[in-house]
Amino acid sequence: MLTARPHSFTARAVFALAFCAFVALLGPGPRMANAQESREILPLNQVRPGMQGYAYTIFAGDRVEKFDLEVLGVLDNFLGPKQSIILVQLKGPKVEHTGVVAGMSGSPVYLEGKLAGALSLKLGIFTKEPIAGVTPIEDILSPPSQNAAAQPSTQQFALPSESAARTGFPSGSALEPIETPLVFSGFQPAAIQQFANQLQGYGLVAAQGGTAQPRPEDAHLAAGDMAGMVLVQGDASINSACTVTAVQADRVYLCGHPFLSLGNVQLPMARSRVVTTLSSDLASTKIVNVGGSIGTITGDHLTAVTGKLGAPPAMVPLDLTLVTTEAGSPKQKTLHFEIVNHPKLTPLLVAITTFSGLTQNSLYGEGTTLHLSGEIRLQGHNPVQIENTFAPGDSLSPDGLPIALTMQSVFTRLFTNSFEPARVDRISLRVESVPGRKSFTIESAWLEKGEAAPGETLRVRVLLRPYRGAARVEQTTVRVPDQAARGTTLRVLVSDADLLNRASRGFAFAGAGSPDGLDQLIALLNRERRNDRLYVGLFVPSPTLLWGDKELPNIPLSQINVVDGRPIPGSVQILRESLSSESSILLGGPVSGVISLNLQIR
């Protein structure tokens, strides 16, 4: 049985004092509201089953519309300790037709003419009655700590059928946060689909939409209007959209539930304008255009997203230049984007934006070899250099997807470093397209002779098999070190870039022998070998000490014993071989394979 939670007189008095300033400073109410409507706050202890009320939202255009609702009861401790939810049933022809709509979260709810909370939850799918949850207004105006916001129960935006079966909830009967549409403008569904699993893991619902020209009145927000976070803007955009619950001077409260439970943030806030509301038995949603930036999203907590009107924070510029050659004439096009700088968001957003900008472009074509180059400029550090080549594959995945995943990997490594925040100034990428598939497999390799003297230079020949066509032989040299001991056996490794990276730094790329700072991490990233080259490395049987980003070959055993005794596990690694020398051959396409040869020193 649902009942209202009792509250003491003392709690009621404290609440009244805490929010008297808020009541005085509340901005204008919804544009369609009755001019005589009270500005008072209704505390949770006064909510009773059967109370009649109403809420405001936008179904189309800028017109804030009113719909009725009835209180079914209060669910105590629903979101967590002392985090209750008001359960309501929506009434009226529109909401009974659409049900609870994605983008409706944050809609202000009034009971007895007083602001009681914001729509935030919906009950089930394919339901016959639109039942929703309301976050109490006192929890919205005083969001709980980020520790509470990180509870798993509040982050589960969608309950997969397998999980539902394990929890015992009948399918479609759980109260879940109303979806926050993630509006993609300039993105084709095929591009979004490549990252659908990651988006769903964040609990987001991808929706297509557009952009609207900024208007002078964009920042004149009122309860019931639409606003949200700007994640990407420029030649394409990604934005969230939900409803404004209240405006207090320059403070904005919206959504009624977390966006991603990010805690305290600095993300641009933009006005959203509803084109129409799409009714669906499965999931109704608002189709919106995103307007101009109007301020900063400052908090993303358990019971609300909060923002501040004014100047938006700076974003990271990303320039993507596409180059192709047709009939001997090069063609070039540059796209410009801006992306938020946030460790949990930036890697995925860079991947999606790069992939869409590349593939949804007239210069892009499947079946081409793509050469990626560029740099990531960081505040106070050397830039990260980007260079790799990608050949078409035989799978159905788009040829441009490996480029996007490579960029996501680089940014993940930068943003998950344990040393300092990575503050990115600018990203510049260039993708050159060459018709056809240029890739090579190492089939065989041999030395001109099986033994050599210290200081001698030997030729190494390698048999390479292209994707199609006749095999070819490439030649390079290795030089035996002068200090090589007679009677020892050296190892000549003919390989691709990845295998030589691993052989020369052990398992450092999996986390061991980790760097001691962001500068060292950048140095490691810049030293990684490129995949469009054939490498030949000569290894001698003496240990190499890996210490942060430093490689110390041929180190005496006595020094290894001293250094390896440091009380910092994982910061030092010992390899049984040392890379004495290496050479490479640029081939213009990805190389794969490895051959190991022995060389006797006479």
Which pLDDT does position 290 carry in this prediction? 81
Closest CA to 339 of 429, 275, 263, 227: 429
> Residue 385 and residue 574: Cα distance in Å, rounded?
27
Q: Do strands 591-592 and 440-447 pair parallel, antiparallel, or not at all (unpaired)? A: parallel
Closest CA to 354 of 243, 232, 268: 232
DSSP symbol at 406: H
First-to-last alpha carbon distance for the chain, in angstroms, is 91
Residues in the chain, total:
602
> Residue 599 and residue 602: Cα distance in Å, rounded?
10
> Residue 206 and residue 228: Cα distance in Å, rounded?
14
Radius of gyration (C-alpha) of the chain in whole angstroms:
30
Dihedral pair phi/psi, residue 412, rounded to 5°: -65, -45
Closest CA to 232 of 206, 193, 264, 194: 206
> Residue 11 and residue 21: Cα distance in Å, rounded?
17
Which pLDDT does position 563 carry in this prediction? 52
Which pLDDT does position 439 carry in this prediction? 92
Strand partners, 114: 111
- Three-class DSSP labels, 492-546: EEEECHHHHHHHHHCCHHHCCCCCCCHHHHHHHHHHCCCCCEEEEEEEECCCEEE
User: Is residue 601 a contact partner of residue 450, using CB atoms and an 8 Å limit?
Assistant: no
Which pLDDT does position 576 carry in this prediction? 67
User: Is residue 255 a contact partner of residue 243, using CB atoms and an 8 Å limit?
Assistant: yes
b/e code 63-81 from CB counts within 10 Å (16+ = b):
ebbebebebbbbbeebbee
Which pLDDT does position 487 carry in this prediction? 86
> Model pTM?
0.77
Alpha-carbon torsion, ordered 8, 14, 20, 21, to 10 deg: -150
- Name the burial class of residue 156, with classes exposed (0-12), middle (13-18) and buried (19+) by CB atoms within 10 angstroms of its CB: middle
> Residue 265 and residue 231: Cα distance in Å, rounded?
12
> Mean pLDDT of residues grouped by 10 in the chain (602 residues)?
41 44 45 54 91 91 89 84 87 84 87 91 74 90 53 33 40 70 84 83 70 82 89 90 90 89 91 78 74 90 91 94 82 93 91 92 84 94 93 83 92 86 92 90 92 91 92 93 88 92 61 66 88 92 62 59 49 68 91 93 84
DSSP symbol at 561: H
- The neighbour count for residue 100, using CB atoms within 10 Å, is 24
Which pLDDT does position 108 carry in this prediction? 93
Strand partners, 121: 133, 177
Please list the helix, strand and coil fractions of the chain in percent, rounded to the nearest 5, in that order.
20, 45, 35
> Residue 2 and residue 358: Cα distance in Å, rounded?
54
Strand partners, 558: none
> Going by C-beta distance under 8 Å and a sequence separation of 6 or more, which residues neighbour residue 386?
372, 373, 374, 375, 376, 407, 410, 429
Closest CA to 311 of 254, 346, 270, 343: 270
- Residue 206 structure tokens: 């991808």
